Amino acid sequence: MSKELVVYFSVYGTAKIVAEEIAGQTGADLVEIEPVIPYDSDREHYDTLARLAKKEHDEDQRPAIKNEIDIASYDRIYIGYPMWWYTFPMIIYTFFDQYDLSGKTIIPFNTHMGSGDGGTYATICQLEPEARVLTGLPVEMRDAENGPAKAVEKWLKSIK
């Protein structure tokens, strides 16, 4: 049996909710991608976060990851993130730059406010051409907050 890891980045907690649900249903280990410089998680400051996310994207920045993530012993890696400016946060690019997922199975999931996966699943295929990328799960932010258990269960059955 392959060893599974759910690795995720979340600021407002929606990707974390989905990540925890996936880990709970699969028995996978769970690790958060922690930025060296934390993002403001106060939703009252959304405009500030949006401007920062756009600046990082426009400047092709790679925010540093604080924690070391052991991926060597895992065969299947679920990777989750919120959508920022119709793509994943730049720290997800940092993750793909730092870790070689060749030979592993990548299973993406994301939260969004109407953009689906925004093409990020195809981007993962380009960034990790030596990995097997399975069909991802886009979860609308409200659905994540209201409990994604059924959507996760249906999706997991479809990719087994």
Domain residues for the domain of 120 are 4-159
Taking a C-beta distance cutoff of 8 angstroms, is the pair 99, 124 a contact?
A: no
- pLDDT per position as a tens digit, 84-111: 988 999 999 999 999 999 999 999 999 9
CATH number of the domain that 92 lies in? 3.40.50.360
Stated pTM of the model: 0.94
| Structural domain count of the chain | 1
User: CA-CA distance, 132 to 2, in Å (whole number)?
Assistant: 14
Residues 151-160 have a mean pLDDT of: 95
Q: Residue 98's closest CA among 59, 136, 64?
A: 64
Distance between first and last Cα of the chain = 13
